[in-house]
Structure 1
Amino acid sequence: MIGTHRRDAGQAFPIYVVMVAGLLFLVFAFFAVGKAAALRNGAQGAADAAALAAARQARDEFGSGFYASLPQDMLDVYLRTHTVGGCSAAPGLASANQAELLSCTPPPMGSYEDRITVKVRGNKPVDSSVIPGSEEKRAEAKATAVVKFRCSWTSVDYNNDGTKDMFFFKCGKDFLEIAPAAPPPWSTVSRILYDVHLVDN
């Protein structure tokens, strides 16, 4: 009987080893999947931040062209044809969120709603022993931000000389008056005139 018990124990030991190894593999696999998901979320956060930074900078750069278009009542033309920049602000926000900027794409020509799309890659690899090739695998993500002009307007030529003297903007619940001859600081009015937000890719 003793010999039989020893043989059973000897036969069972390899099974236990395989079971333990399988469980360890599952634990490491779950850990790798969790780490990959966390890195993906981090990359998405970096992409969102970079896209918003680019869109806000683009909005800041609209000021001179916007104001220059007012006296001759060319605002509608400006809104449809302005140049959209902003991408120089994206790398810094990507880097601050542990990622590198791969691309930043503003529209070729502006409109009432300008979309800027960025793509980033996270700095940290998945680096899991159970996932081949993960030593160099880094999460990538894309985000798109919109700079949207949200107002309607009317203008007045008080002197009847062909030059507009005052613009009245209605932006949702906000009202704004701008005299082209003495406009307020762009930083004061740009957040009323334009809305900046993320959209689905």
Structure 2
Amino acid sequence: MAVAGAGMVTVAGAVLFIPGEQGSQAAGSAPRAVVQGDPLTAQEIARASTIASAGSREHMAAGQVKLLYVERDDDKEADERRRADAYLYDYSADRLIVRTVDLDRGTVVEESVARGVQPPPSKAEEATAAELLLAHPQYGGGVRESYARAGGRQLRSAADLGLRGLIFTPAGERGPARHCGIHRCLRLFVRLPDKTWLDTSRIVVDLSAKKIHTLEW
């Protein structure tokens, strides 16, 4: 989220200075030591991501597991060490894996695994959902046509779309979407260049099955 005129950007719990008056002033001052209650720095997020992913690289390369995001660990009972929680999702087994990384020691100190737990989608998952939507034989062409009308140019990739994803939990569905909640499924909202939104109210993207479901009502 950009903060207008403040010279900084907040990304996943990290505050990064960008060019500008305040950014230049901050660059000229001595860096303050990171303490326990501070947000994770970009370097800490990258370090935690690498450490937490080390045991899943083969599955991540195959697309079976993805790192969703990294957050600061706020366990008040922990010691004063800097720790981060890395959230990974195993689509092949529909498991949420949370690995707590001790950033000082460079090791995973805790791991929990749960099924049926669906944290908010990551930006990478929203992009994957859009790619599945564009590849769909029925809906893909419609998205491209709507984009061309709204933007006056052809859609190059899912990166051209404005995306917002929400977790879908079924409520009495009888079709394939009934598996959502166990499977990881998204409702994907797509914004076009003219700021209008596509009507995707009946579309559910199943990231576990890599399929598109159409809700019936």
TM (norm. structure 2) is 0.21
Higher-helix-fraction structure: 1
Larger Rg: 1
Instruction: Kindly indicate whether structure 1 or structure 2 has the higher relative contact order, using CA contacts under 8 Å at least 6 residues apart.
Output: 1
